[in-house]
Amino acid sequence: MTETLRNWAGNITFAARSLARPRSVAEVQDLVRAARKVRVLGSGHSFNRIADTDETLISLAHLPRRIDIDAAAGTVTVDGGATYADVAPVLHAAGFALGNVASLPSITLAGAVATATHGSGDANQNLSAAVSAIAFVTGSGELLTLRRGDTDFDGAVVNLGALGVMVELTLDLLPDYDIRQNVYLGLPVPALIDNFDAVMSRAYSVSLFTRWQGEAVDQVWVKALAGGDDPVEDILGATAATGPCHPIPGLDGTVCTGQMGVAGPWHERLFHFSIGNTASAGAELQSELFVARADAPAAIAALFRVQDQFSSALMISEVRTVAADKLWLSSAYGGDTVGFHFTWKPEWDATIAAVKVVEAALAPFNPRPHWAKVFTLPPSGIRPHYKQMDAFRDLADRLDPAGKFRNDFVTKLLFD
């Protein structure tokens, strides 16, 4: 590459010999046909080398934006470079909505889907579960479309970029809806452990933010459907915030989506950060581990016991729930899940040491890492927790027999 390209956090410098920015699907097909090895770069919001390659790196950011709403079918079809910030306002203007979104509006839908990224909510599945059809450019340069119900579909949606270049996705839509958001401060950890289900089920989407310091969770973000019960003043000792909050205490809450119980469109509340605003406090690293929903209270207690061993490396941590799905490489495959997300200070050695403490604390609960974030768990400790891992590898061998879309990271993680 003639330019130095880094990921969103700045901790990864991509090693690709060439970076291509095709402006059409036909150009993508030509690039793939000519390449020996290919990986696709989304918004760069990954923290390991999942997107890296030493050959051809393709960015789909310059594809023509496609946001085609089929009102009769209740779906939207988007191009592989579209971000949630591109898509959400268009859907709202047309009277439609997505059932859930990620924390950040700036990430691409294709990247979120490929890595099983998620929002929060007891009844809300991974973002990938909203996909009803997907189109890949395969290793031969041909276009392959799979639809929900096809034999290979459940294995192909969450794919880590190992099956082809996702140039088109179709997602399920809902009628437009409004959300009101309230933040509560200082939830005692013992109360959370004893009442985890009650806390997380109290609204459409609930997130817990904590620095794992002291005896209380810093913030409870409650995103409720407008028109329901009035917001309460207290949740098990956590009191309502008197002004807008940032997930990291002390930072400017006005960059976040609207709070204080004022109802607004789904896309102005479900994201944690408003479209167009910077989400981060600065350079950071991220990791996330998932355990079965039933293990959440015990997992919280386990982290609480060792918090002094990792909290000094932490900016903030978020706890979210995700409903079960049937996508083979989804972290919620076959069962409801809780995710423990960690935003670390940009200090690599301290972060790795802290990640190892967290992984060890959660080891009794068979943790699974977010595919695109920092983890130290070996492949032998990850693969057994995915019942369809062998089936996915067979699918990848069939759709990409030459391994054109595999890099060192994915090969070691899934195939070696």
Q: pLDDT tens digits for 182-224?
A: 999 999 999 999 999 999 999 999 999 999 999 999 999 999 9
Question: Given its phi and psi angles, is residue 10 left (phi above 0), alpha (psi -120 to 50 degrees) or beta?
Answer: left
Q: What is the reported pTM?
A: 0.96
Residue spans of the domains in the chain: they are 67-176, 178-376
As a CATH number, domain 67-176 is 3.30.465.10
Kindly give the parts of the chain with pLDDT less than 70: 1-3, 278-282
> What top-level class would CATH report for the domain 178-376?
alpha beta
The two beta strands, 314-322 and 337-344, are antiparallel
Residues 324-347: pLDDT tens digits? 999 999 999 999 999 999 999 999
90 and 65 in contact (C-beta within 8 Å)? no
CA distance 303 to 321: 17
Question: Given its phi and psi angles, is residue 250 left (phi above 0), alpha (psi -120 to 50 degrees) or beta?
Answer: left
pLDDT of 9 reads 84
CA distance 209 to 219: 5
pLDDT of 279 reads 66
Residue with tokens 């789904």: 266
